[in-house]
Each structure stands twice: as C-alpha cells, then as structure tokens.
C-alpha cells in the first residue's frame, strides 16, 4: 500500500542516482562540521491540471463522477510537514485548478515533495487515486509534467499533473537557482514523452499563455 513512508522512500530512491537504489548521504549527515551552505528559497508552485486520472479502488458505481483534489506536501526532517490542497473539482477525468502555493524550502538536500490525488465524496470521505514524490533538489523552473503512480508504485499510463514551478529568494527577488550547478542524474526517459499524446496536447495549450523556453530539462528529476 502507498502510505506516506513508502511514498517518501519511493520518491528518494526511485529518482536519485538514476534509480539504482543507492543514494549518497548529504554532507551534513556524514560530517556535522561540514562547511555546507544551506539553500533557502521559496517555490511558487501552480497546480494547473491533471489528466487521465484512474478511478479509486472500491468505487462500484461506474456512473459516479470522481471529484479529485491534489494535496501537495513538503517533507523535511526535524520540521512539521507543510501541506496545501487544491479545491475539489467535479468531473475528475481531466480536472483543471490553476491554483498556486508558496513553499518555503529550508533544507533542500533533505526535502521531498509529494503529490497525492484523492477523490472526495459528498460526505467528505477521501479515496486514493494516484500519487508521486520527488526530491526538491531535482525541481526545475517552467511548466512540468508530474507522472503519477498507483498504490503498487507503478506508473499509471498517460496519467499525471501539469504544474508550473518558479523560484525566488526569501527576500522576494527572482532566484536564478535553476541555472546553478548541474541537474541531478535521473531516469528522465520516463517523462520525455510528456505523458502521452493527450497530455502533450494539454501541455501545448498551456504554452500559449505561459512563457517557457523549454518544457523539460534532459536530466531534471521528473522533468520538474
């Protein structure tokens, strides 16, 4: 089952170091006196839309329309998880939100960002639909495709979330963070197809109202 611990573990070891299952510990873990500058900045994350969302397990009535929401959570050791949610949208096969959140990152090397999609019924009970998790250090600016996984951690075909990512310093200035250093090694081949033709078409619609030079970084984690 996809509980929080499993999701975080999958997000770290699935993407870092090409998905080989071995990840180097951050310098501060190896040496408490290490001369490391902690990166502190703000992520402006806009959840644009989702595509080809699966029906939750246990929904017997095939005529029932799903009402999805996206819960975005930043997990950082020694800090309480930060979480925000989109509103609930009816007719949830390809819902649109265009809702933005500001996320303060204190310890980039230790932080993991999770995306969880739930169906919420009229009684406000929630049912898992899909999820994904990725290291914050792999985020890249621009409009990005977030591929989603099912409960067994398998990628759902053509299913994902379109998000827009922007960085700025704590003081409010635009941050050049996405251009500093090299992108981490990842299995970028999983996302280069933009999640299928339908998701690609949706991506093209977004580009008409956003200014991004490219959709994906060749080595960016989840191309985000």
Give DSSP secondary structure letters for 83-114: EEEPPP-SSTTS-EEEEEEEEEES-GGG-EEE
Q: Phi, psi (5° rounding) for residue 41?
A: -160, 175
* Other CB atoms within 10 Å distance of the CB of residue 79: 13
**What is the spatial distance between Cα 57 and Cα 65, in angstroms, rounded to a whole number?**
14
Q: What is the pLDDT of residue 181?
A: 32
Residues 32-59 have pLDDT tens digits of 777 777 778 999 999 999 999 999 987 7
Q: What is the pLDDT of residue 124?
A: 92
CA atoms within 13 A on the CB side of 40: 7
Nearest 10 degrees: Cα torsion 88, 81, 134, 5: -100
Q: What is the CATH number of domain 4-223?
A: 2.60.40.150
CA atoms within 13 A on the CB side of 76: 16
Residues 156-189 have pLDDT tens digits of 999 999 999 999 987 655 554 443 333 333 343 3
Look at residue 123 and tell me whether its pLDDT is greater than 70.
Answer: yes
Domain boundaries, the chain: 4-223
Residues 73-116 have pLDDT tens digits of 999 988 899 999 999 998 778 999 999 999 999 888 889 999 99
Q: Is 219 helix (H, G, I), strand (E, B) or coil?
A: coil
């Amino acid at each position: 089952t996809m509980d929080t611990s499993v999701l975080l573990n999958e997000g770290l070891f699935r993407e870092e170091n090409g998905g080989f299952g071995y990840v180097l510990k951050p310098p501060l873990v190896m040496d408490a006196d290490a001369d490391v500058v902690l990166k502190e900045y703000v992520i402006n994350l806009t959840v644009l839309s989702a595509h080809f969302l699966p029906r939750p397990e246990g929904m017997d009535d095939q005529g029932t329309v799903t009402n999805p929401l996206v819960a975005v959570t930043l997990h950082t050791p020694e800090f309480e998880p930060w979480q925000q949610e989109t509103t609930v949208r009816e007719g949830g096969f390809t819902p649109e939100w265009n809702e933005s959140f500001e996320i303060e990152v204190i310890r980039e090397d230790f932080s993991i960002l999770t995306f969880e999609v739930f169906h919420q019924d009229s009684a406000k009970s929630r049912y898992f639909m899909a999820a994904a998790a990725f290291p914050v250090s792999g985020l890249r600016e621009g409009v990005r495709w977030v591929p989603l996984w099912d409960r067994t951690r398998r990628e759902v075909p053509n299913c994902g979330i379109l998000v827009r990512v922007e960085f700025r310093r704590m003081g409010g200035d635009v941050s050049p963070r996405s251009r500093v250093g090299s992108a981490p090694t990842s299995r970028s081949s999983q996302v280069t197809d933009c999640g299928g033709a339908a998701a690609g078409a949706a991506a093209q619609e977004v580009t008409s109202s956003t200014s991004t030079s490219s959709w994906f970084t060749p080595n960016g984690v989840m191309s985000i």
